[in-house]
Amino acid sequence: MAHHNPWPDEGNTGHIWDEDIRELDNPPPLWWMLSFYAGFIMIIFYTLYYPVIPLTDKMGGFTKGLTDWTQINEYNDDYKVLKDWRVAKFADKEEKLASMSVADILKDDELKSYAVATSKMLFGDYCAACHGAGGAGNPNFPVLADDDWLWGGKANQIQASITNGRVGNMPARGMMGNLTDEDIDHVTDYVVALSEGKGNDAQYAAGKAVFAKGMCLACHGPTGKPLAPAGAANLTDQVWRFSSDREEIKNVITYGVNVKKNGEYIKGTRQAIMPAFKERLPNPEVNIKRLAVYVHELGGGQ
Ligand code: HEC
Ligand code: HEC
């Protein structure tokens, strides 16, 4: 800063930097001043128009403004417009879903894609906790994205699984409950062999005999493949419903699935229950069909 002001008459404030950079005290331009005052006037209108001044709860919370405008009201109004638009746009498709059978929906490519697209959220909200994202399965909960079905992969079978739920039942220690520990060891070896395609090997003959004696074949079919889908697992593939571990397989054979005594699950039994969704889903008539189409299209529908 200089002590000496070489420009005494130009109205500078006497603040000088780097020898010749001066601070002047010219008035601001008119346009600037007008905007400045206009800003003050705006504040008055703004304050009257919008909710601006916070007040105590006793005094009504806050000033409401002349039009009762709030962000949330505006959001709700816009949302309603969007929702009405969607409902109107998709009304005919929703009506078709409501009136057509799942099998017929599957034959209509456009409707099928629509059902699949609108199922993803529903599946995430209501099914994925057990069946995994995209039906990929979780320990103890079946994969829905393959073609291995307990209860059938036809449209009406999938629809029935979702509507009424499913409870698979397998008795403990064979149908009569009288297989010995030795029998169980043999039949476990046989079941493991079945999954490896070696069920007919002579060394598993004892297990095969137990499979007949314990009436395993009544549910799992004479060759380990159920004759009709009624909840029993296919034992001839590598898809394990519970576990591929020999001990775990032996446990299933020993304690069964969903076995109860005096209304309580017996110790060691596998619990496997698909809940009924006819009363759990919003708008169940349409949403069950939508989900049935989705599950069918996950990859394994028949
Ligand atoms: C609380 C866990 C749970 C929820 C939630 C659940 N499931 Fe299941 N689901 C199961 C179990 C367990 C089974 C196997 C039942 C059995 O072992 O017989 C099953 C079986 C099924 C089957 C039959 C599979 C087959 O192989 O035949 C379908 C289809 C199915 N679920 C669809 C759904 C859909 C769609 C939803 C969502 C609306 C859903 N599930 C929600 C537990 C659940
Ligand atoms: C009343 C019908 C029934 C009988 C009898 C039956 N099972 Fe099962 N079995 C089932 C059902 C149902 C399941 C469970 C399917 C599910 O919930 O995923 C099952 C599951 C299994 C599993 C588990 C398969 C896997 O993928 O994890 C094995 C192993 C098995 N059974 C073997 C046997 C053997 C061995 C016998 C005879 C001692 C037998 N079952 C008798 C119905 C039966």
Q: What is the pLDDT of residues 104-148, one digit of tens each?
A: 999 999 999 999 999 999 999 999 999 999 999 898 899 999 888
The residue whose CA is least distant from atom 20 of ligand 1 is 274
The ligand with the least distance to the CA atom of 176 is 2
DSSP string over 246-259: HHHHHHHHHH-BS-
Domains of the chain, each with CATH number or no CATH? 91-166+277-297 (1.10.760.10), 169-271 (1.10.760.10)
Cα–ligand 1 centroid distance for 148 (angstroms): 13
Nearest CA to ligand 2 atom 5: 216
Tell me, what amino acid is at 290? R
Residues paired with 257 in a beta bridge: 170, 270
- Distance in angstroms (rounded) separating the CA atoms of residues 42 and 33: 14
What's the pTM value of the predicted model, to 2 decimals?
Answer: 0.80
Q: Which residues line ligand 2 (CB under 6 A)?
A: 150, 168-171, 174-175, 187, 191, 214-216, 218-220, 231-233, 235, 240-242, 249, 252-253, 257, 272
The SS3 assignment for 164 reads helix
Which tokens in the block code for residue 263? 């209304």
3-class SS of residue 259: coil
Please tell me the predicted confidence (pLDDT) of residue 14: 86
CB 187 within 8 A of CB 249: no
pLDDT tens-place string over residues 146-194: 888 999 999 999 999 999 999 999 999 988 878 999 999 999 999 999 9
Q: What are phi and psi of 157, to 5 degrees?
A: -70, -45
Select from 158, 274, 280, 298 the residue to mutate for testing ligand 1; criterion: most ligand atoms less than 8 Å from CB.
Answer: 274
Residue identifier of the C-alpha nearest atom 7 of ligand 2: 170
